[in-house]
Structure 1
Amino acid sequence: MCYLYNVESQNTKGPGHSRSLEVPPVRVLLFILATFLGFVLLELWLYWQSKDKPLQLGLWDLIFWGLLIFWSVRVEVRLPLNAGMSQLFLFALALVVLTPPWVAPLAAFLAQWGGSAWYKEFFNRSQDGLATAIAALVWILAQENPLYLGRWDLSDGVGIAAAAFSFFAVNSSLVAFVIHLDSQTPLREIWRRNMGWVALSYILLSPLALLLARAYETPLLGGWGGWTVLFFLIPLYYSRFYWDEKVRLEEAFDTTLELLMNALEAKDPMTRLHSERVADIARDLARKVKDGDEAYAQAIYRAARLHDIGKIAIPEAVLLKPGTLTPEEFALIQSHTTKGAELLSPARKVAFDQLVYNVILHHHERWDGRGYPKRLAGHEIPEEARIVGLADAYEAMTAGRPYRKAKTPEEALREVQELSGHQFDPRLVEAFTELWEQNPIWRDRHAYLAAKEGSVSRSTSPQRSSASASPSPSEPGPRTSEE
């Protein structure tokens, strides 16, 4: 897979605005020019070092491989965060095997045409050329330093794998960094969304590039190696189809989450952006306690977005009641954990894994065993539920509820610390405190809402306190999180 920076620019000024007139930020333009300069210098060096080597392929052969590169870019898979993915690297690496080292980088630079803004097009050509040039250099080194295992010559296999890895490293790094410069999206997030999930298959496909080159050199069909190469386009197309469907399924999953949460917020507008802020807090906390495990952090984020989904089944008269709840009403509120798990049960093992159900069902359990619905204690509570439970409590404290006034971030942190070992896992409280002291955007609710929606009035967060508000039956004092 070759990564591309070619999704339409987000700063187009209107339907009549020409892409040819778009100018990127200076930092992006400088990086693009540096990439192009790197490609030109390495390409000139490769040409100088190998100018005496015969070209071997004729004009029609070069046109054939150029068309394959062109086709691979035209059938790219669009990815999130201003990126795309194509199979250009397979044909570029095959051309590295077949020709002197300067040919393939030049073909990767020239044999492209797309509909992106001019600077994205120029960057794609430059970074593809540079990645191919470095892969060609690695291939040369492997050929000049043969590797044997007994009588077996492993030079070609090791060489193509190393060339593929170098292509991937250069290509993915350049694309991730230019997207980071353009959008300010964290590099880790760009990697997670666009590259991490496909890195292994990238390396596993590398032998196919060598196979395509050898098949072209040794015709098996009709006396021309191109027929065999074209035959291999069939499984290549279906692998591309799989990647496309993978991206579409992720988009559909994310859309489903948004629809479910929109439905809940339409029912309970006083919890506006509650689930999203809980999810952001929980993701940071999960990443902290798992030493940067991004896959786990993202799984926690998705589960946290759905943690209160069971409230859809709670009557509004009870859910939004500003005064004291009767025991029956409070039991109904508490049932949102089990109702949420039941609501999503048809999607078990299809769209949602066990982690999601653990969060929905157990995010109101307490470390001391006095929570609900199962009255689990300590490490009996799944870690993901403990993480989301703490995030949920902090968000609720600083948001305010009909039955009590919102706390300041400082007051909420002190209460979280006071409840360490009672309501919350002490290890999570310690990690949460370290995160809080770094002043993340979610620490202050008004700042968070302003960042999410541009301008937010304090009236959007309920500040009323109720004289009749009563402690939670499952807690020893005033409520610390929404029930």
Structure 2
Amino acid sequence: MALKRLELPPPRVLLFVLSAFLGFLALEGFLLWAYNDAPLRLGLLDLLFWGALTFWSIKVRVPLPMSASMSQLFVFALALVVLSPPWLAPLVSFFARWNRQVWYKELFNRSQDGLATALAALAWQFFQQNPLYMGSWNLSAGVGIAAASLVLFLANTTLVTTAIHLANRISWYEVWRRNYRWLVSSYLLLSPLALLLARAYETPLLGHWGGWTVLLFLIPLYYSRYYWDEKVRLEQAFDTTLELLMNALEAKDSMTRLHSERVAEIARDLARKAKGGDEAYAQAVYRASRLHDIGKIAIPEPLLLKPGSLTPEEYGLIQSHTTKGAELLSPARKVAFDPLVYNVLLYHHERWDGRGYPRGLAGHEIPEEARIVGLADAYEAMTAPRPYREAKTPEEALREIQELSGHQFDPRLVEAFTELWKENPIWRDRQAYLAAKEGSVSASTSSPHSSDSASPSPSEPDPRTSGE
């Protein structure tokens, strides 16, 4: 355990952690120098009370999806900003945290809490020293707490998001979107409570001590935290349900092991390149791609695994997996999925030349996300073994994709895909991809003996193979 605490992060992360710490020290030093004559109106018991509340707020933090957490520290930190000299609240925020993490994570968490609170204290002081009036009304306190709240939120989320981005090389915007975008409204609505707590502490409403009123206001704070916690749990449960659906689908056919995940990674890279690096769009396409074949759950297993050619009736039944997938997920249309997901479910088997299904759309009539997933799906299927044909090599699959440019696939996407393929991404070779994902390649990845039965030609895609 002791050795673990001495480990070093990547240099870029270490530099950022040290920069946050030095930034906190510099700003705290400035506040001590600039406001050294400000009176400390809080006694020892007051400091212990607010310190305990700050410590409690950190302890009951809510975990967020991407290596982060959110607490109601900001409410008590802002209340201290109002009640005390500007230098005090940052110190309390810095020392109140005690999580026994790896040293650089602990240092960063303390530093970003202290730095964000110090910046909020400066924002509050600006409006106290430069009063803002509307007629005879002094708006300095209301505007000051709003400004301090916004500064604290932006500083805190920016620092944490940047740290996660540097440590994990995940898109900065995606980290912020997944972790914090949904919190903005509830955060800003709760922030004025800090001013109310400070004023209630100064002028007791219950008994002869303002702390009773503050404790009373912990009830709505608790329920707001409960809402955050339930929101995160619901999202985690939803993601787990999707994973279970994918596992159930792949359990019907061992040959399609990790099919949806590989398709999703190809589609995400292709979407990112086609959209000039738009990470939000790429992530949306990735999520939709994980679900693109979900309708096959409703298709009988013997039909999916049939080694020979299909009858027209069987062909039509398998083609129905696109509409069945949309029907299966229709209850979640308003609460979980946007139109992009349904575009992928319904139209990823449409073709550029209009010979696809279910509607026979052509060219730009096909939603771009469906064109992207259709190409990714076809490449994955071509390089995976099936009961009715052997897997193609990556080179053979690329040549076929290029030959079908302008027929089955959007020519612009084929060009982008070719550029990606030449960069040798992990998904290019299926066996290498499976080995990287699972640590070994099982027998299910080896090519089976070729079937004597007829298999579809590229111009007549078999929906079992997802479009080659």
Interval containing the TM-score (normalised by the shorter chain): 0.7 to 0.9
Q: TM-score, normalization: structure 1?
A: 0.85
| CA deviation map 1:322-367 (0-9, x unaligned) | 3333333323322222333343345443554544333223221223
- Deviation (angstroms), 1:211: 2.9
Query: CA contact under 8 A between 1:25 and 1:182: conserved in structure 2?
Result: no
User: For residue 210 of structure 1, what is the amino acid of its counterpart?
Assistant: L
**Aligned partner (choices 13, 18, 23) of residue 6 of structure 2:** 23
Which residue of structure 1 lines up, in the alignment, with residue 38 of structure 2?
53
Distance 1:26 1:291, change over 3 A: closer
Which residue of structure 2 lines up, in the alignment, with residue 125 of structure 1?
110
Which residue of structure 1 lines up, in the alignment, with residue 70 of structure 2?
85
* Aligned equivalents of 1:100, 1:365: Cα separation in 2: 66
Which residue of structure 1 lines up, in the alignment, with residue 213 of structure 2?
228
Distance 1:25 1:455, change over 3 A: farther
Backbone CA RMSD of aligned residues = 3.1
Query: CA contact under 8 A between 1:19 and 1:117: conserved in structure 2?
Result: no
Which residue of structure 1 lines up, in the alignment, with residue 386 of structure 2?
401
266-275 vs 229-238, which deviates more?
A: 229-238
Which residue of structure 1 lines up, in the alignment, with residue 265 of structure 2?
280
Query: CA contact under 8 A between 1:20 and 1:117: conserved in structure 2?
Result: no
**Aligned partner (choices 388, 397, 400) of residue 373 of structure 2:** 388
Which residue of structure 1 lines up, in the alignment, with residue 250 of structure 2?
265
- Map 1:255-334 → 2, pairs under 5 A: 255-290=240-275, 292-334=277-319
Query: CA contact under 8 A between 2:431 and 2:445: conserved in structure 1?
Result: no
Which residue of structure 2 lines up, in the alignment, with residue 3 of structure 1?
none
5+ long unaligned stretches in structure 2:
none
User: For residue 24 of structure 1, what is the amino acid of its counterpart?
Assistant: E
Q: TM-score, normalization: structure 2?
A: 0.87
User: For residue 26 of structure 2, what is the amino acid of its counterpart?
Assistant: L
Q: Identity, % of aligned pairs? A: 74
Which residue of structure 1 lines up, in the alignment, with residue 58 of structure 2?
73
Residue 456 of structure 2 corresponds to residue 471 of structure 1: yes
User: For residue 460 of structure 1, what is the amino acid of its counterpart?
Assistant: T
- Deviation (angstroms), 1:66: 1.1
Query: CA contact under 8 A between 2:42 and 2:84: conserved in structure 1?
Result: yes
User: For residue 159 of structure 2, what is the amino acid of its counterpart?
Assistant: L
Residue 321 of structure 2 corresponds to residue 336 of structure 1: yes
224-233 vs 259-268, which deviates more?
A: 224-233
Distance 1:206 1:439, change over 3 A: farther
**Aligned partner (choices 211, 222, 225) of residue 196 of structure 2:** 211
* Aligned equivalents of 1:34, 1:222: Cα separation in 2: 46
**Aligned partner (choices 156, 166, 170) of residue 151 of structure 2:** 166
* Aligned equivalents of 1:201, 1:435: Cα separation in 2: 41
* Aligned equivalents of 1:211, 1:291: Cα separation in 2: 47
* Aligned equivalents of 2:166, 2:8: Cα separation in 1: 8
User: For residue 215 of structure 1, what is the amino acid of its counterpart?
Assistant: A
| CA deviation map 1:220-261 (0-9, x unaligned) | 333433333323222221111111111111111111111111
- Deviation (angstroms), 1:109: 1.5
Distance 1:237 1:111, change over 3 A: same
- Deviation (angstroms), 1:443: 3.0
* Aligned equivalents of 1:232, 1:330: Cα separation in 2: 64
421-430 vs 258-267, which deviates more?
A: 421-430
* Aligned equivalents of 1:368, 1:397: Cα separation in 2: 20
208-217 vs 348-357, which deviates more?
A: 348-357
Distance 1:440 1:232, change over 3 A: farther
- Deviation (angstroms), 1:392: 1.0
Q: Which runs of 4+ in 1 moved over 6 A?
A: none
Query: CA contact under 8 A between 2:254 and 2:444: conserved in structure 1?
Result: no
Query: CA contact under 8 A between 1:79 and 1:85: conserved in structure 2?
Result: yes
**Aligned partner (choices 438, 453, 465) of residue 453 of structure 1:** 438
Which residue of structure 2 lines up, in the alignment, with residue 482 of structure 1?
466
* Aligned equivalents of 1:216, 1:435: Cα separation in 2: 61
- Deviation (angstroms), 1:293: 4.9
* Aligned equivalents of 1:409, 1:399: Cα separation in 2: 10
Query: CA contact under 8 A between 2:264 and 2:285: conserved in structure 1?
Result: yes
**Aligned partner (choices 352, 366, 376) of residue 367 of structure 1:** 352
| CA deviation map 1:414-451 (0-9, x unaligned) | 43343333323344444444544554332332332233
Query: CA contact under 8 A between 2:309 and 2:456: conserved in structure 1?
Result: no
- Partner SS for 2:353: coil
- Partner SS for 1:84: strand
User: For residue 216 of structure 1, what is the amino acid of its counterpart?
Assistant: Y
User: For residue 300 of structure 2, what is the amino acid of its counterpart?
Assistant: P
150-159 vs 84-93, which deviates more?
A: 150-159
- Partner SS for 2:6: coil
User: For residue 253 of structure 1, what is the amino acid of its counterpart?
Assistant: F
- Deviation (angstroms), 1:92: 0.6
- Deviation (angstroms), 1:369: 2.1
* Aligned equivalents of 1:269, 1:23: Cα separation in 2: 44
Distance 1:202 1:428, change over 3 A: farther
| CA deviation map 1:161-218 (0-9, x unaligned) | 3322332233223323443455454544432332233234434433332333233333
* Aligned equivalents of 2:419, 2:133: Cα separation in 1: 52
* Aligned equivalents of 1:466, 1:398: Cα separation in 2: 16
**Aligned partner (choices 90, 93, 96) of residue 105 of structure 1:** 90
User: For residue 193 of structure 2, what is the amino acid of its counterpart?
Assistant: L
* Aligned equivalents of 2:339, 2:15: Cα separation in 1: 47
Query: CA contact under 8 A between 1:303 and 1:355: conserved in structure 2?
Result: yes
Query: CA contact under 8 A between 1:19 and 1:118: conserved in structure 2?
Result: no
* Aligned equivalents of 2:14, 2:321: Cα separation in 1: 52
* Aligned equivalents of 2:366, 2:14: Cα separation in 1: 51
Distance 1:236 1:430, change over 3 A: farther
| CA deviation map 1:292-339 (0-9, x unaligned) | 554544333222212112222333332123333333332332222233
